[in-house]
Each structure stands twice: as C-alpha cells, then as structure tokens.
A and B are shown apart, each in its own frame.
Chain A
C-alpha cells in the first residue's frame, strides 16, 4: 500500500460519508425486506475497510481496534445491520491476524485484504445451549484436508460470506471444550437453511440457522486452541465492537432528540421546551456509556498481547460488565429520546422516527444473552480478589 495511513478522524469522516451516501439510503429497505445490505458492504470493500484490521505489511489498512470501532460506531448511526456485519467481520479478522501465525494463515490474511473477503462465523451449535466454548461437531482430518459438518443455529450473513470461521472439536476423540477455529472457504461450503431470519431488529444481518457442510485445507485451522482465541481476542473484540455500535445507536437517538428540542426552542424563543429537562438526563447516560466503552478500549489495547492479562479475572469481569451495561444503556437512551421526541419519534415517517433504532437496540441484550453473561460474571466474582 502506497497510500498514507488513515488517521482516526479521517476514518470517522469516511464512515460518515459511507453512512450518508450509501448506508442511510438503503437502511429502510434493508430493514423492511430483512435483506443483506449489499450496497453498503460493497462500499466498505471499495474503501478497503474489510482489511481495516489487517496489518499494512499484509496489504491491509493497519487500523487499530479503536479506529475500527470508531467506524462501526458511526456507520451504526445510519444502518445498524451494516455496522454489525462490519463488526462481526472485524472480530474474525482480529482472530486470524493474532492467532494465525503460519505462512498459510498469513497468506490468507493477505488475501482478505487484497480480495476484500467477507468473513462470517459459526461459533454456536444446536444442542450445546448457546455456550460457544463447547462443541459437538469435530474436524475430521484427511491428509492435508479436513471435513466438518455442523448444525449452526445462527450464521450471520452466512450466504454472503467468502469464508465461515467455524468452531469444532479438534478431532473425533476430543472432549467438548477442546476446540479449534477452522477457516471454511465458501467455495467448499454447503449451507442448508434450518430457519429463517424474520426478527425484531438487525434484520439485515440475515442470521439464519444452517446445516454447514465444509471441506477445507487443514493449514487454515488457526494455530491456537479456540479457548485461547476466545479469551484473548474474540470475546474482548466482540464486546468492544458491539458496545461501540450500540453507542452509535444511542448517539443517533440522542442527536434526534436534541435536534427536536432545538427546533422547538427556535419556535418559542425565551421558553425552555418541555423536553429539555429529559435531554439533560439523557446526556448523563450517554456520557457514562461513552466513557465506559472508551475506558475498556484503552485497557484492552494496553494488554491485548499479554495472555495472562487478558485471561485475568479482573479483565474478564470488566469486559463482561461492559457488554451488560452497554446493551442495557442503549435501550435506556433510545427510550429517553422517544419520550423527548414524543409522537414525532413514535411515527415511522418523521425525521425524528426512532422505531428502527429501538428495535435494533433491543437486539443488544439478546445477542449473547445478558443472563448468560451475568451468570459467567457471577462465577468469576467468586474468585476475584480485592484490589
């Protein structure tokens, strides 16, 4: 890459441009039809954003997680489904880049950047109760190749991805927790839908369930055990990117409420509009929310390359707690904004409409259910030491 590296503010400007020129244009239709936001993903590709987290020496943009999260946060203001697809793609890229050290995996990372490949994931399995750290299916090795069959209750944008990163037991004799993460390239994957995707929100992510039947190159199984990949990279990256996206949703709702109050203030100069007091309360939640995301991002960037630190109880509790607080606060902010905008927010045909944002916001608590995370956090609290 000869182009100079993009600064954080340039990346944010780019995200606003894609948001305004593409994502916002198609967001209503994507939501209505529950269809893949092809136009926006094509716009990501045109700007090289699918290689944002790929290092520059492998042909990517070399963004750090903070910059990638900033882009997701801004795009989320225009089309949450598009931003979620970008976030989920980034999570897989982050795993590939940190846990794929072999020549074959580095070559694959280079391909992701050069060919702007879209990566999906199949980490849950029917019959294991939503715990990603257990698998029933397994990798069957055959010389240099592998075969893998999985009943996946959810594979977001699986039909539109260039590869599906799939968890499975290391081999037929491995216990459920001894898992690997295998790159299953679309050309050698067959997906048979098990369910549709007609949901409340995030309708454009097309997160259908599938029977996945894949063959692949055994050299494209990531080097580290999935347990390590999950703790060091997948889980913190997911919670940070998702929280950033939800923050973007909260900020969009908040700005709509603020514009609404400002417009009312202009109509009645000298009188404080009735929604203004609620606006002050909304600002409190919004600021706390943004500060929590920023603080955990800073903490993760400092320790991301130290496995002892990322698997430490304090950090795991902190990152779990971020997910729970961010996914709760996004709904609070949108609800507060709705009370401020009143009927104009309730309408589907006004510039202050909050319907889609509210529906998308409710997805936050159920994607990796907060009750499950709270259960894990409570268990971790049993072994936390005072500090």
Chain B
C-alpha cells in the first residue's frame, strides 16, 4: 500500500520547507508561509515535488499561492494528474 499524496507532501515539507513548527501540527489548509516557509524554501519544495512525481509545474502554477498550504499543493498536483488513484496504480 503506497503512501497517499498528502502524506508524501507532508514528508517533503518536513524535509525542505524549514518551517518553524512540526508539519504534523498544521492542517491541510494552514498557511505554510505563515508557519515560516520562506520563498527560498518554497522553491526547494517545488523542485522536490517535481523530482518526486517526475512532473514539471507549468508557468501559470509558479506563484506563491500554489505552495501556500498542503491542500493547495495537492490540488496543483491533481491538476497535473497526480492523485491517490494514479499514484496507487503506478
């Protein structure tokens, strides 16, 4: 049974977002920038997502709001065809 996309996002954030708090303390809608993620760190998170799922975020998704919360990242990934169903069948 593979990890859900949300769990993977949370694992990437733990490694790369340099938050002031444990990711487990944040809900899917909590603001990651408010939790201390810098724009620098958000670039690292983006690159880590691209590597994890072998995708490339298109230009119009490369804005601050795309990486503002766990939920926003999950929605963006879903738009690129990454969701629990595709990950499970991969």
Contact = CB atoms under 8 A, between A and B. Distances in A.
Interface of A: 133-134, 174-178, 227, 231, 308, 311-313, 376, 379-380, 382-383, 385, 387
Given A175-B19, A227-B33, 19 more contacts: A133-B38, A175-B20, A175-B34, A177-B37, A177-B38, A178-B36, A231-B64, A311-B64, A312-B62, A313-B59, A313-B62, A376-B40, A379-B40, A380-B43, A382-B43, A383-B57, A385-B56, A385-B62, A387-B59
Contacts of A313: 59, 62
B36 A175 contact: yes
A311 B65 CA distance: 10
Interface string B41-72: 00100110000000011110011100000000
B38 A385 contact: no
B8 interface: no
Interface of B: 19-20, 33-40, 43, 46-47, 56-59, 62-64
Contact of A312 (B33, B57, B63): B63
A124 to B, nearest CB: 16
A227 B64 CA distance: 10
Contacts of A385: 56, 58-59, 62
Contacts of A174: 34
Contacts of A231: 64
Contacts of B63: 308, 311-312
Given A177-B33, A308-B63, A311-B63, A383 B43 contact: yes
Nearest to A312: B63
Nearest to B58: A385
Given A177-B36, A178-B34, A178-B36, A383 B64 contact: no
Contacts of B38: 133-134, 177
A176 B21 CA distance: 12
Contacts of B33: 177-178, 227
B50 to A, nearest CB: 9
Contact of B46 (A134, A227, A312, A383): A383
Residue among A134, A177, A227, A313 having the largest count of chain B Cβ atoms under 10 Å: A177
Nearest to B20: A175
Nearest to B59: A385
Contacts of B40: 376, 379
A161 to B, nearest CB: 29
A313 B46 CA distance: 13
Contacts of A133: 38-39
18 contacts: A133-B38, A133-B39, A134-B38, A174-B34, A175-B20, A175-B34, A175-B36, A176-B36, A177-B37, A227-B33, A231-B64, A311-B64, A312-B62, A313-B62, A382-B43, A383-B47, A385-B58, A385-B62
Contacts of B56: 385
A26 B49 CA distance: 58
A194 to B, nearest CB: 26
Nearest to B36: A175
Contacts of B43: 379-380, 382-383
Nearest to B40: A379
